[in-house]
Structure 1
Amino acid sequence: MEDQAHQTGPTAGPDHEQRWAELADLVLIISREIQFRGYTDERAVPLSPSEGMVMRYLQREPAAPPSRIADATGLQRTNLSTILGGLERKGLVERRADPGDGRGVTVHTTERGRANYTLVRQEWAAAVSEAADHDTEHLDAALTLLTAVETGLARMRPRNRATRPAAET
């Protein structure tokens, strides 16, 4: 194994490795804090982390077959089916027969689903902004970095499902 002290580049060395680990820890902690917080608006429909991933995807793709949703979110198809059932019961999505393929279905966001996503994003924004004392000095840099990390992680996601994801807690 190569000694990290001899590596070069912007991500080389033990100091950078520790800082990347700290960033990952903070992202997980922030996500958890947002989940624990809940919502102040009684109209908000709470979502599990997996339901949130599906709804985020469906904001960009308001109608998609389950296979595409599973691929985009990294969820197992069997788990996705359960998640979609829960979202349907909450009135946030609906499954419709695919007009191009009579055997397939397409998942669509409902008006309630779109409104709920807008509402919970507003709540998240208010909570995160307040937690940061409304300091926006480094907000654009943080968004740029976190977007790059999210894009890179999605690109590197194992496609064969042989690699087990970390347990959801």
Structure 2
Amino acid sequence: MAESRRDRPPPIDERWAELADHILVIAREIQFRDYQDEQAVPLTQSEGMVMRYLNQNNDASPSRIAAATGLQRTNLSTVLRGLAQKGLIERQARPADGRGVTVVTTARGRDNYHLVRQEWAQLLEQDGTKASRLNTALELLRSIEAGLVSTRPGTPASRPGV
């Protein structure tokens, strides 16, 4: 039986697929390189996501970190343990009641975040990309990121009727 036009998904703009390919390749190229500064602490992708979130939000409960990064709580526990062993985070009892835990970035964690971001910037700046188009690219990538995060499977915004 022939498929009707109504049953077919709308055609996609292949440039979005090409953009995704480029993003994945660029991310891999950045992660593939060793840091030039001996002080830089290499992180796994999950560790990097947690450190990025904590450096942008100062401190957070493990539940909030898991929700914000899309990590499962059991996986997050392993990531937090690794970051603590590297001296990049600390777990502290919540001051209000002492029952919950808050995760905070240590001075070493903040320094490492700044250091690796500087190395990434130097790496990308060297490739000759026109800085005049950088703001447009950043605006597009921020918009894509926000859209993807808001529709992440398992988040309340992505479930109908929630």
Distance 1:38 1:145 in 2: 28
The TM-score with structure 2 as length reference comes to: 0.87
- AA aligned opposite 2:138: L
The residue that corresponds to 1:109 in the other structure is 105
The residue that corresponds to 2:132 in the other structure is 137
Is 1:150 matched with 2:158? no
Is 1:76 matched with 2:72? yes
The residue that corresponds to 1:122 in the other structure is 118
> How many residue pairs are counted as aligned between the two chains?
151
Distance 2:123 2:22 in 1: 16
Distance 2:108 2:9 in 1: 54
For structure 1, the 5+ residue unaligned runs are: 5-12, 162-169
Is 1:91 matched with 2:58? no
Once superposed, what is the RMSD of the aligned Cα atoms? 1.8
Q: CA deviation at 1:104?
A: 1.4
The TM-score with structure 1 as length reference comes to: 0.84
Q: CA deviation at 1:2?
A: 4.1
- AA aligned opposite 1:123: E
* Larger RCO, structure (CA 8 Å, separation 6 or more): 2
Q: SS in structure 1 opposite 2:131?
A: coil
**Any idea what the Cα deviations from partners look like across 1:69-110, whole Å, max 9, x if unmatched?**
000000000000000000001100000111223321100000
For structure 2, the 5+ residue unaligned runs are: 1-6, 157-162
Runs of 4+ in 1 over 4 A off after TM superposition: none
The residue that corresponds to 2:57 in the other structure is 61
Q: CA deviation at 1:134?
A: 4.6
- AA aligned opposite 1:141: T
The residue that corresponds to 2:3 in the other structure is none
